[in-house]
Copies of this chain bind each other. A is one copy, B any other.
Amino acid sequence: MPSFVTHLESAIDGTALPHDELQTTHADRPLWVRYDLDAIGRAVTREDLRDREPTLWRYRELLPVEHDENVITLGEGMSPLLPCPRLGAELGLKELLIKDESQLPTGSFKSRGLCMAVSRAKELGVTRLAIPTAGNAGGAMAAYAARAGMEAFVFMPADTPLVNRYEAGLFGAKVFLVDGLINDCGALVHRGAEALGWFDCSTLKEPYRIEGKKTMGLELAEQLDWTLPGSIFYPTGGGTGLIGMWKAFAELDQLGWLDRSDRPRMYACQSGGCAPIVTAFERGERHAEPFPDPHTIASGLRVPKAIGDFMILDAVRESGGQALAAPEAEILPWMRKANALEGISLCPEAAACLSALAELVKKGELDPAERVVVFNTGAVQKYVEAMECDLPLLPAKGEVDWDAIARS
């Protein structure tokens, strides 16, 4: 089926650009993908979705790929939306739901954006891709590039988590550690584009990752039977998912698919160790300054400068939400608490959301009776550094102190 895309639109000044050729940014800022929503409304109803496959491609009409043969898929999407009564009680909430993105290909939400970016890149004739990554994006791009038969180059800080360092290479990408931060990696990818002719898949430097990420919002609406929750807590590094979901809600509203037009308050959650969006939010600014000396165990949040800063901040403010920083020291305790209470493979980035959420409830700034959704953006199993612990060793045979085992 053909796509319903009409054009691309500069997010900073509204300039229209054609979508049938390769685009990156306009005035160094991201592009929106625009659709003929009226035509989509005539082509499909929300009831039509029910019989479709349980992947994000069920929203095919709202996605930018022109020809089905360019859909590069590993079966991504329709992640479970899990009720969390124990963790909710711990937070003093009546209804807490976790959208569990750990169950996507390569174990993270990055697969949503990168399946779309890689599919469109393939459709537009690209054969070589490159990406800077602070964590899970590199592995996801490498996996989809492999699936598409494309060449991939991945640049990451030397102190990126162990599993992320290895996975991209396993998917056949050429992987380089960089003695610096993700922004240094981004600069290398930018320079290399001229030298080696690769397409730059950096966050928001190509238009289609937002479209993949917006499916989190589409799924959430469908899973909640077309009534959005009261608030959404989203771990925010580059912010593509938050931006994408906010766009999804607007598109759904325009399609008339939402039973109520109330939108959730969007809470952009960061770590105190790297909180550029929070700083800009508190100062009432639309653009964020680079965060000095960024550090956090939540590697996906270690993004000192996001080119979509104004898009994140616009969405947060329009929604009546906030940008919130979790104290870095509270991330691991919340991660362990959530894992042990609910059995969800919850990553440090999502734990930052829980810490911020707890603080908000404590301050009385969130109605404990409303429905709250937290996004778990990746599988904790990919964060060996954050999981580390000492374990007791027993001999294979002989006496066992069972009391000590019971008490341990």
Contacts and interface: CB of A to CB of B under 8 A. Distances in A.
Contact of A80 (B55, B80, B144): B55
A172 B341 CA distance: 8
Copies in the complex: 2
Contacts of A250: none
Interface in A358-408: 379-382, 384, 387-389, 391-397, 400, 402, 405-406, 408
A162 interface: yes
Interface string A26-66: 00000000000000000000000011001100000000000
B402 A166 contact: no
A405 B185 CA distance: 14
A342 B178 contact: no
Interface stretch (A2-10, A99-107, A284-292, A299-307): A99-107
A27 to B, nearest CB: 25
Given A184-B397, A195-B402, A196-B406, A146 B177 contact: no
Contacts of A174: 405, 408
What is the size category of the interface that chain A forms with chain B?
Answer: 35 or more
Contact of A163 (B106, B175, B384): B384
A333 interface: no
A165 interface: yes
A169 interface: yes
Contacts of A167: 345, 380-381, 387
A396 B345 contact: no
Contacts of A14: none
Interface of A: 50-51, 54-55, 73-75, 78-82, 86, 100, 102-107, 139, 142-149, 153, 155, 158, 162-163, 165-167, 169-172, 174-181, 184, 188, 191-192, 195-196, 335-336, 339-345, 379-382, 384, 387-389, 391-397, 400, 402, 405-406, 408
6 contacts: A102-B107, A107-B107, A163-B163, A170-B339, A180-B396, A191-B400
